[in-house]
Amino acid sequence: MTGAPAMDDRLRRAVVANLAAFEVRRHPVEGRKHAAVAVAIVADEHGAPSVIITKRTPRLTAHAGQWALPGGRIDPGETVEQAALRELHEEVGLRLDAADVLGRLDDYPTRSGYVITPVVVWAGGTVELTPNDAEVHIIHRVSFAELDRPGSPEFVRIPESDRPVVRLLIYEHKIHAPTAAVVYQFREVAVKGNATRVDHLEQPVFAWR
């Protein structure tokens, strides 16, 4: 990333072009659950481009307290894009439509039995976000500059797998896959225009369930 990009139509066009030039990799669902997540580009409190990352409420039965992108299972009859937009509205109160969809990233198969399809969307400038208390504990607008901080992501080895675990350093937190993998690919592909793959990257053992 050269310098700090502005939250304007030039950035939107660049992201659209980068996603269009990228050959998206699909994974068969085949007995797994299919989910969609929204990588939503929105202005932060300083007007700089950022993405929405949430922390899930500790009351959930699955993946409680983990960092996540707005998303969930695709309902019967829904497209991936429709599911991502619905989940974005349900979880953080942000209503967008098909015209705001910029493209997709690679599918990411999880250890817990999902195939996640990320959808990149444009939320624009000043928008209000309201967490759904049943699912979301905190909403963060993470700036592109923070996504590009030195030393992030980290790749570590664990004895349970021969694949590297990916984690992002965001503020004082360490965020793991699948969220870290999707956000890292967003940074590389959508923002920088690099053909970077992440579906081989591992999750930590606590996220396998």
Instruction: Classify residue 136: in a domain, yes or no.
Output: yes
Residues 141-166 pLDDT 10s:
999 999 999 999 999 999 999 999 99
Q: What is residue 207's predicted lDDT score, i.e. its pLDDT?
A: 80
The pTM of the full predicted model, rounded to 2 decimals, is 0.93
Total domains in the chain come to: 1
Q: What is residue 1's predicted lDDT score, i.e. its pLDDT?
A: 45
Instruction: Classify residue 156: in a domain, yes or no.
Output: no
The residue range of the domain holding 72 is: 9-145
Instruction: Classify residue 4: in a domain, yes or no.
Output: no
Residue environment code for 93-126, b if the CB has 16+ CB neighbours within 10 A, otherwise e: ebebeeebbbbbbbbbebbeebbbbbbbbbbbee
The token duo for 28 is: 């068969």
- Half-sphere exposure of residue 209, counting CA atoms within 13 Å on the CB side? 7
For the chain, list residues with pLDDT below 50: 1-2, 60-61, 63-64
Instruction: Classify residue 43: in a domain, yes or no.
Output: yes
Q: What is residue 65's predicted lDDT score, i.e. its pLDDT?
A: 60
Instruction: Classify residue 200: in a domain, yes or no.
Output: no
Instruction: Classify residue 170: in a domain, yes or no.
Output: no
Measured CA to CA, the distance from residue 94 to residue 127 in angstroms comes to 8
Instruction: Classify residue 157: in a domain, yes or no.
Output: no
Instruction: Classify residue 18: in a domain, yes or no.
Output: yes
Q: What is the CATH number of the domain that holds 124?
A: 3.90.79.10
Q: Tell me the three state secondary structure of residue 57.
A: coil
